[in-house]
Structure 1
Amino acid sequence: MDKPYQHIADFLEDESFRDWVLGKGNVRSLYWENWLKAYPDQAGILFDAKEILQALERENVEDEQWHNADQKRLLSSINASIDRAEDRPLKGKFREHYPARAHQFIWLKVSVILLLMVAGAALISNLDNITHQDGIGQEELAWVEREALPGEKKKVFLPDGSSVVLNAASKLRYRAGFGTAHRDIILSGESYFEVASDSLLPFRVYSGTLMTEAMGTAFNVSAFEGEATEVKLVEGKVKVELQPEVNAEVDRIYLDPGEQALASSEVFAKGKFDQRTALLWTEGTLYFDDQPLADVIKALERWYGVTIKAEGNKHSALRVSGEFHRDNLENVLQSISYSFDFDFNIHQKEVTIQFN
């Protein structure tokens, strides 16, 4: 997180960035997702650089020499694109209008040319088509967000035909072009995915410290802040990668149906899960299986959209088991209170639990 790059050239000159975009080696994509979180105002520059690399890669032709005429043609295309950037500010959430400083644009040109010479690519026709359109539309660079607020569930249909059930207090984000140029999603909270098959575009979910990749499958991801991240596979097959911020070997787990990957600060491991109960939340059922009371309180806060304050002398080892189908908060608390001897008061969105 120590590289707050300012210009497209900064990314193009970074070998690890090029390897990440082009999918080479064991490069941690989560590093760049975390970078985006640390420098959100630079997101537009990063994605501009990423789009340039992806466009170039699509036109890469093996064993084809890059002739001088090709170089001149490509440079002309880049010049035209840069000239438009100088003449017209680009609006949008993550776009930035760069001052017309000549040395920045020169570095951009040089960086792209050097990159292509190293790659040995022809890469001409598509880039020409891209740069001679009427500018890149704002919608191509925008983020799309879908959110289920505390106290609600939401079903979302994605542009590629996949569907997602968002649990309470959960959010997913993806860039425009989903389903045609990529199928990458950033998730906070919990969601159940039913993924449409696509042999060309893998479906990737970035959640906490994990990246889950699937081609066509059904799986559940839980990644609430401050809690372990879990991936539970229902159908198909997925690859789950642990992606720490440092550049080290990628830890990877492949899951079959009925298996889960769990990642916390202490462990990254594969295990089994109960398929009968794992997705009850998608049907409106709260299910607790010998869970600590503190975890149950957090789940109730998300589920009902309330804030719960516990007072009095409660035992730290209290654990809760129970199943509640589309029940109201008062009934749930009443049921739990029988086992743990507490009183409670509900006032609008504020709940107080008083242990006796």
Structure 2
Amino acid sequence: MNKSFRHIEDFLEDDSFRTWVLSKGNTRSLFWENWLKAHPGDSAMLFEAKEILLALEEENEEGEEWQEADQARLLDTISAAIDLPDQQPLEGKVREHYFIRSHQYVWLKVSMILLVMVVSAVILSHLGVFRGPSPASKEEVAWIIREALPGEKKKVSLPDGSSVILNSASTLRYRTDFGVSHRDVTLIGESYFDVAKDSLRPFRVYTGELMTEAVGTAFNVSAFEGEAAQVQLVEGKVKVELHPKDDTEVDRIYLDPGEQAMASAGTFAKGKFDPRTALLWTEGTLYFDDQPFANVMKALERWYGVTIESEGQKPSSLRVSGEFHRDNLENVLQSISYSFDFDFNIDHKQVSIHFK
């Protein structure tokens, strides 16, 4: 191909260029890559022509690309617009018309193409072919993240006056517009919420498949990965909703003080709990009430920020009960080992347990 490209219309009139652009560069791409390398000063003109062609190459509502038939219709439309002046020359001006293409004439052709594009876009928009972008928000909304690392607890004061106590290995996220039009937070792990009253803006906690909504109350939410999620109400009233990932019907439970909602392995039920022991963690106390040994080890890992590995033949069913107030890890493991006969070693953040 020895054709020269000095104007935008030279690209638009070229069949190979239009085919290359509308086929997403899968056709004759090597030629145009070499052309750009050989004519770096004309790259802006090429990309302007490419933008004109791509203006109608948007995705439709279902996210499917245009098929070959659609592209062919677009090529025919542009070709007709380009060739229209040539097909209807004015009498007595034929020789002048073919002698030179003035800048005005060049841009007349480009204007006609743009007119075709605009009219087509309006029609297709009404037909629902194009999916327009979502309106940009007037002010960028960012996320604020509050995190309690393994081995630490953290108290967080929210802009609306609510307070949150984050348990170890827990993360709370909320947007910078929190308290303005909404009071929504996202939780991973466990937190105790003391919610400031605001009847116009319900307080919502999203964690996994659960959404807990309150106006002004105090409740505890626990949703560590791999463990049952639960919401325990201390005072006031809350609504807890289960939103399954398979988009089945939403289940809903209303709680009174002393009641809890639990979600685990496809079940969602309401029950009772003891507020005196359930919130001991907020005071620095570890409390286990007939808990499986594996769950206790996970809790110790989060509480003290360590990794625990066990070896040896351990009994098939180990369950732990005990209360440890601001105690160190060595004393806790020593106390548990008396009941289950194991040795342990603490090396910085690594703990090994060996059953005898």
CA 1:106–1:242 in 2, change beyond 3 Å: closer, same or farther? farther
In structure 1, the partner of 2:138 is: 136
> What is the letter of the counterpart of residue 263 of structure 1?
A
Deviation of the 1:106 alpha carbon = 7.3
Unmatched 5+ stretches in structure 1: 1-6, 12-100, 113-129
Deviation of the 1:248 alpha carbon = 2.7
Q: State the Cα deviation string for residues 167-198 of structure 1 (Å, max 9, x = none).
A: 00000111111011111111000000000011
In structure 1, the partner of 2:262 is: 262
In structure 2, the partner of 1:151 is: 151
Aligned equivalents of 1:293, 1:102: Cα separation in 2: 69
In structure 2, the partner of 1:330 is: 330
SS in structure 2 at match of 1:177:
coil
Aligned equivalents of 1:348, 1:175: Cα separation in 2: 37
In structure 1, the partner of 2:193 is: 193
Using the aligned pairs only, state the percent identity: 72
Aligned equivalents of 2:200, 2:127: Cα separation in 1: 29
Runs of 4+ in 1 over 3 A off after TM superposition: 109-112
CA 1:200–1:293 in 2, change beyond 3 Å: closer, same or farther? same
Matches of residues 55-204 of structure 1 in structure 2 within 5 Å? 136-138=138-140, 141-204=141-204
SS in structure 1 at match of 2:152:
coil
Aligned equivalents of 2:280, 2:208: Cα separation in 1: 23
More deviation, 309-318/151-160: 309-318
Aligned equivalents of 2:349, 2:118: Cα separation in 1: 56
In structure 2, the partner of 1:278 is: 278
SS in structure 2 at match of 1:296:
helix
Aligned equivalents of 2:265, 2:303: Cα separation in 1: 25
> What is the letter of the counterpart of residue 159 of structure 2?
P
CA 1:334–1:178 in 2, change beyond 3 Å: closer, same or farther? same
Deviation of the 1:275 alpha carbon = 1.0
Q: How many residues align?
A: 238
* RMSD value, Cα: 2.8
Deviation of the 1:266 alpha carbon = 3.3
Unmatched 5+ stretches in structure 2: 1-57, 63-116, 129-134
Deviation of the 1:267 alpha carbon = 1.3
Deviation of the 1:350 alpha carbon = 0.2
In structure 2, the partner of 1:288 is: 288
SS in structure 1 at match of 2:310:
strand
Aligned equivalents of 2:269, 2:180: Cα separation in 1: 33
Give the TM-score, by structure 2 length.
0.63
Matches of residues 206-225 of structure 1 in structure 2 within 5 Å? 206-225=206-225
> What is the letter of the counterpart of residue 188 of structure 1?
I
Aligned equivalents of 2:164, 2:303: Cα separation in 1: 17
> What is the letter of the counterpart of residue 296 of structure 2?
V
Give the TM-score, by structure 1 length.
0.63
SS in structure 1 at match of 2:145:
strand
SS in structure 1 at match of 2:300:
helix
Deviation of the 1:250 alpha carbon = 1.3
Aligned equivalents of 1:261, 1:145: Cα separation in 2: 26
